Amino acid sequence: MDPRETYLRLMVCVARADGQIVDPERQLLQAAVGRSGLAESQVAGLRAALETSHPFDIEEELERVGPGIDPGTLLELLRDGYVLAYSDGELAPTEVAVLDKSMSKLGIQDVDRSSLHEWGRLAADHVIDGLHAASTALEHDASGQ
């Protein structure tokens, strides 16, 4: 599977882990899918997976995860997974469990997963802080202040 599709399917797993996909999660994922450069058939499959009425088996998706994800993609998955999980205002344990299972499927040991989870949370905090700062700056610029 194309690494971009693997990354996005895992992000869909994170979003669907708590049984719902709220607007902020949907918007983030729709934008990522649109920028992915994947074939239209892959894009259509990912967009369908964002609809909770569409069958989607998280465990089956996680079984597809295997060796081949490079360290940079893993870090993007963790950072963006936590940003996505926080986007609805709360971090559900089921969302963290999906990230943990993803790392486990990649063969990452428990002790290493713990430190990577911490890194993912901190990286997500920085991204979220940056988004708030940029939004505020743009609002001030638009209002002439």
Q: Which amino acid is at 30?
A: Q
Residue 140 is predicted with a pLDDT of 83
Parse the chain into domains and list their residue ranges.
Answer: 3-143
Residue 1 is predicted with a pLDDT of 75
Q: How far apart are the first and last CA of the chain?
A: 49
CB 4, CB 38: distance < 8 Å = yes
CB 75, CB 96: distance < 8 Å = no
Tens of pLDDT along the chain (145 residues) come to 788 888 899 999 999 999 889 998 999 999 999 999 999 999 999 999 998 888 989 998 888 776 667 888 889 999 999 999 988 888 899 999 999 999 998 888 998 999 999 999 999 999 989 988 998 999 887 777 6
Superfamily of domain 3-143: TerB-like (1.10.3680.10)
Residue 67 is predicted with a pLDDT of 64
